[in-house]
Structures are given as structure tokens and as C-alpha cells.
Amino acid sequence: MPRTSYPFTQALITGASSGIGEQMAHMLGKAGVPMVLVARRGDRLQTIADQYKNVEVLTADLLTAEGVAAVEARLRDTTKPPVDFVVNNAGFGTSGPMHRIDPNRLANEVQLNVVALMRITSAAVNLMLPRGRGYILNVSSVASFQAQPGLAVYSATKAFVTSFTEAVHQELANTGIRITALCPGLTKTEFQSVSNTSKYESKFPAVAWTSVKLVARTGINGVIKGKPIVVPGILYKTLVGITDVLPRSAGRWFIGLFTRR
């Protein structure tokens, strides 16, 4: 059942112009939670902001040092309401054999999925610690649990996100700060077109696709409950459980059946 209220006083969502980030923005906006929406496409952010009260638009490209610095500056800005819920949702992937992909694109993938997320998390934690309260949700992927041939760099970046978040979760025990890694499986968003994985829509049955609403709801509920890792959907919970006991070589072979060109 959808929530009608949340324990947040001010949220900041990166990658809020589409997909999971946009869905979370609508969920929080409908509940009256003030927000700071971050993405490159300011016009799309403004369209969302116009539907709710107390919404700031921060147009920033997190592939750049300036963009990340703008988010860090907003988190530190004492003239504005303090942020107590940060969603690191911005990210992208690239499909295909690693050696055939432009290394500059792969470097950008690491920059956005790993470096920007780490810096924003660090800034958020340092500001939340003196208050003794806060929530951070880092959007990872089920790809983080198993090397993914055909998505080599993407799965590696998400492995970082899940491991990093789990470790920081333990570091922050008893501080009042809750940090969670959200690890969805296949979810129909703009991710497929950006990452050149639209072909997977025909390779996987409808049951393999998780709704963006379920993913967003699972993530927010998980961080409220203080869980280190949440996986939306019974199917993907089961697959992650199997991954834990399956030899890594077998996992690579199985994934390769679907991702090879």
C-alpha cells in the first residue's frame, strides 16, 4: 500500500528527471515532502517541480567536477532547509564487449556511478552526523552481485556501490544515519536506450521486468527501516540468493547466455 507520509523533512534526488528518480520525486511530492531535484535536464525537472510545493531545481551535470560541487554546496548551504534524505540515483550503463566501447564513455560511467556517488555520500554523511539523523539511498543493481559479460564496467561500478554502501552502513551503526543500497533487476526506464540494452526487452519475459513504482517504493521503505540492502521483487530476491551459493564461473556463463552479442 502506498505511503501517504514519510519521516523526511527535505529530500535531494539525483537523476530525478526520469526513471526511478522521477518516480521517487512524484511519491515524495504527493506526500508533501520538500525536495531538491538534480539532473542535467533542467526543463524536465521543472515540469516535475511545477506539480508540487517546496521543490528546488538544481541543474547539474554530475559527470563534471562542477556539477558534483554544486550538489555538495547545496548540502552544505545553511541558508536553506537542511537535507535529511539523499537519493543517489544518477547513473548509466554501456552494453557490449568492453574492448569495443569508447574508453572515454566507460570512464564517464565510472565517474558518474562511482565517484560522484561517493562524493555526495561523503558530503551527506558529514552533514548528518552532527544532527544524529539522516537517510541515504544509493541506487545499485542486482548486477552488483555477479560479473556481467556484456555489461562489464556497469556491473563493476554497481558492485562498488553495493559494497561501499554496505560497509558505510556498518560504519554508521548507532549514529542515527541510515544508508541503504537499492538493487533492482530489469526495470523499464530510459536506462535501456541510454545503455544500448533495449534488445533485452525481447530476450526476457514480462515476468522478469519489475515496475518502476515497486522499485521506488522498495527503496524508500528499505532505507526508512534501516536495511543495508534491498532487492525489489520475489524473482530477484531468489536470484540473488542463488548467486550467493552458485560458483562464480557458473554465474558468468549463465549471464553470458543473455548478454552476448
Indicate if 6 belongs to the active site.
no
> In terms of Cα–Cα distance, which of 155, 177, 179, 178 is closest to 165?
179
> In terms of Cα–Cα distance, which of 61, 76, 27, 41 is closest to 216?
27
DSSP class of 184: -
Residue 194 region, left (φ>0) first, then alpha (ψ -120 to 50), else beta? alpha
Burial zone of 136 (CB within 10 Å; 0-12 exposed, 13-18 middle, 19+ buried) = buried
Catalytic residue among 6, 52, 135, 154: 154
Other Cβ atoms less than 10 A from the Cβ of 46: the count is: 14
Residues belonging to the active site = 154
